Chains A and B, each alone.
Chain A
Amino acid sequence: MKLLDGHGGFLERTIEGMHAGLERAVAAEHSAAGGGLLQRLDARVKVVGLLSLILAAALATRLWVIAAIFALAVVLAVLSRVPLRVLAARAWIGALAFTGAIAVPALFLTPGVALYRLPGLHWTVTAQGLTTASYLLLRVITAATLALLLEFTTPWVQVLKALRVFRIPVVFVAILGIASRYILLLLETAHEMFESRKSRSVGALEGAERRRMAVGSAGVLLSRTFQLSGDVYLAMQARGFRGEVHLLDDFAMKRLDWLALAGFAALAAAAVWAAR
């Protein structure tokens, strides 16, 4: 039963959004367990390598450099068994729609050399406008692809532990880990709450009613959050937690890892140098 928009459409959309979130987490986990190229590398190499490519794309002042990094990202994706349709669905479409809409006015608004005048309207596309829109779109899509690659080739617990490479305090890594673990739980709790409210709401709801429903769910979720936090605190103490966090990771650099790291470093450096 599809509810009409404006009559609980917000419930539908929220449920869909949560469902999509949960589903993405599962898909990423599944992909990260696959046997592609990137999956075989040490998480630290991937974190440092992919992030430096994102940085290189951000620093580039030549369009072709960004395009080259993008092409590289796509190749890495294919080699890591992340199919193009997954990239398109999860990274490109959203980014293009959003940034595309934002970039279009820039075609006309950026002062510079006129290129083409739209027939009918008096809007002129400038060369600079075209360039700037391209920078924006290319950078957004390249960064989105690289970020997705990290997400889909590395179990997120390993990504977190790899962050220690950047000297991020252990306590933050621990908090990130525990928070991620409970996000899934709270998402499901919220999902169930909304599903049950949806099934109980017959017909159209007044605006104020709907707001109350949404806010009430948030309130219930908040209470549950605090309750859980109190119980988890006890559970942590019961196992010896005294405030200091200790992590154990399984990281070990193999030859392939060193090679990959060198490869990433060389590519990033080349990109930065080429764009001078």
Chain B
Amino acid sequence: MHIPDGYLSPATCAVLYTGAAPFWYVALRRVRKALHTRLVPLISLFAAFSFVIMMFNLPLPGGTTGHAVGIGLAAVVLGPWAAMLAVSIAIVIQALFFGDGGITAIGANCFNMAIAGALVAYAVYRILAGRAAIGSARRVMAAGLAGYVAINVSALLAAIEFGIQPLLYRDATGAPLYCPYPLSVAIPAMMLGHLTIAGFAELTVSAGVVAFLQRSDPSLLKTTAGRGAALAEPAAGRAMRPLWAGLGALLLLTPLGILATGSAWGEWMARDFSNPAVRHEIAATSFQQAAPLRAPEGLARLSQIWTAPFARYAPPYIRSAAFGYLLSAMFGAGLIVLACLTVGRLFGRKEPAT
């Protein structure tokens, strides 16, 4: 799922390079602080391993085979920051020396797979594994799911990057200049392959190798076990800061959503069905199938039940659309974070000071 050159506009590529750079910078500093002189040999060797793993043709259920990126495994064994660096290095080598993945797309590929992938995989692993013993089956499952979720998040990011291309970049005749498929096609197309094949390949590698290591070399699993070993963050609060910063940056970018004119596929209101302009749009994004003349009954009934507080992401008392978007995003993200923290408090226990 390495994005080649030509699918993303240079502007998109530049944004993703710029987005990746701070993560690389932070990762380098953190890993250097944790590993000191060991940084160079460890990251180099793991990057080489990562590269080779990506070449493995993994047998999957149903007789298919797939390739894994190994980001789940990397995050579990090295922690998010070192994993981010190692897999980025592997991606750069693939692009420059083996023609696999575009050179302008290196930033995008690293952002999707190495950076977002490592952070998501680590988060999922730590949440699911909790305080289980290093050799427990729970950790195997957690690692597997971490890999699965991470690769799907990477795929989703790539799908979004693909999907906004025809929206933003067209030539004088209206022909898309880069990826021609809008979100409505890009997202299902990407997710189908990743929720199934690629996801399971990732799950197999993460879970399988963690299980193998539990028997052969459990010390390799210590760093992310959360017990104050070499790469564990000294204070959870400080560790989270770059993640908060990343979330903040994403929030600020949400007004970009306004650029998506019209409504997302499937997100139509009951009254849209009688609006000719919207009907035309529905048809255009649904393979030329005309929309029914009246809103489907079920849709009409259910749409009476709930009126969202921030209808259409635009609270009525906020006049600027962009600000309204931003506000909704912050509110939404805030709700999710609050929910997660509450769940964490309820089901977790305070970690003892090490």
Contact = CB atoms under 8 A, between A and B. Distances in A.
Given A136-B6, A156-B97, A175-B43, A219 B177 contact: no
Contacts of B61: 207
B43 to A, nearest CB: 5
Contacts of B65: 9-10, 13
Given A99-B6, A135-B176, A243-B32, 4 more contacts: A215-B211, A232-B41, A233-B38, A243-B36
B55 A54 contact: no
A83 interface: no
Contact of A14 (B47, B56, B177): B56
B217 A223 contact: yes
A180 B97 contact: yes
Residue from the set B6, B39, B216 with the largest chain A CB neighbour count within 10 Å: B6
B50 to A, nearest CB: 9
Interface stretch (A71-79, A105-113, A247-255): A105-113
29 contacts: A10-B58, A10-B59, A18-B52, A25-B97, A58-B5, A62-B171, A98-B4, A103-B180, A105-B181, A106-B181, A109-B287, A110-B176, A131-B173, A135-B175, A135-B177, A139-B6, A140-B7, A151-B99, A179-B44, A182-B44, A182-B48, A218-B209, A218-B212, A222-B77, A223-B217, A223-B220, A225-B45, A228-B45, A229-B38
B328 interface: no
B179 interface: yes
B40 A143 contact: no
Contacts of B42: 229, 233
Interface string A10-44: 11011001100100110010000000000000000
Interface stretch (A195-203, A234-242, A262-270): A234-242
A234 B55 CA distance: 29
B208 A212 contact: yes
A59 interface: yes
Contact of B48 (A131, A140, A183, A243): A183
Interface size on A, as a range, is 35 or more
Interface in B99-131: 99, 102-104
A91 interface: yes
B204 A236 contact: no
Contact of B99 (A127, A144, A187, A211): A144
B51 interface: yes
B159 interface: no
Nearest to B214: A219
Residue from the set A13, A18, A91, A143 with the largest chain B CB neighbour count within 10 Å: A143
A19 to B, nearest CB: 10
Interface in B263-284: 284
Interface of A: 6, 9-11, 13-14, 17-18, 21, 24-25, 28, 51, 54-55, 57-59, 61-62, 90-91, 94-95, 98-99, 103, 105-106, 109-112, 127-129, 131-133, 135-136, 138-140, 142-144, 147-148, 150-151, 156, 159, 169, 171-172, 174-176, 178-180, 182-183, 185-187, 190, 207, 210-212, 214-219, 221-223, 225-226, 228-230, 232-233, 236-237, 241-243, 245
A112 B175 contact: yes
Contacts of B212: 215-216, 218-219
B257 to A, nearest CB: 22
Interface in B67-122: 73, 77, 85, 89-90, 92-93, 95-99, 102-104
B77 to A, nearest CB: 7
B37 interface: yes
B185 A109 contact: yes
Contacts of A94: 99
Contacts of A95: 4
**10 closest Cβ pairs, A-B complex:** A215-B208, A139-B6, A219-B212, A143-B5, A178-B44, A229-B45, A128-B175, A131-B175, A182-B48, A106-B180
A111 B284 contact: yes
A61 B57 contact: no
Contacts of A61: 171-172, 177
B10 interface: yes
A99 B178 CA distance: 12
Contacts of A221: 49, 52-53
Contacts of B44: 174-175, 178-179, 182, 229, 232
B46 A229 contact: yes
Interface string B158-184: 000000000000011111111111000
A143 B104 contact: yes
Contacts of A132: 175-177, 180
Contacts of B314: none
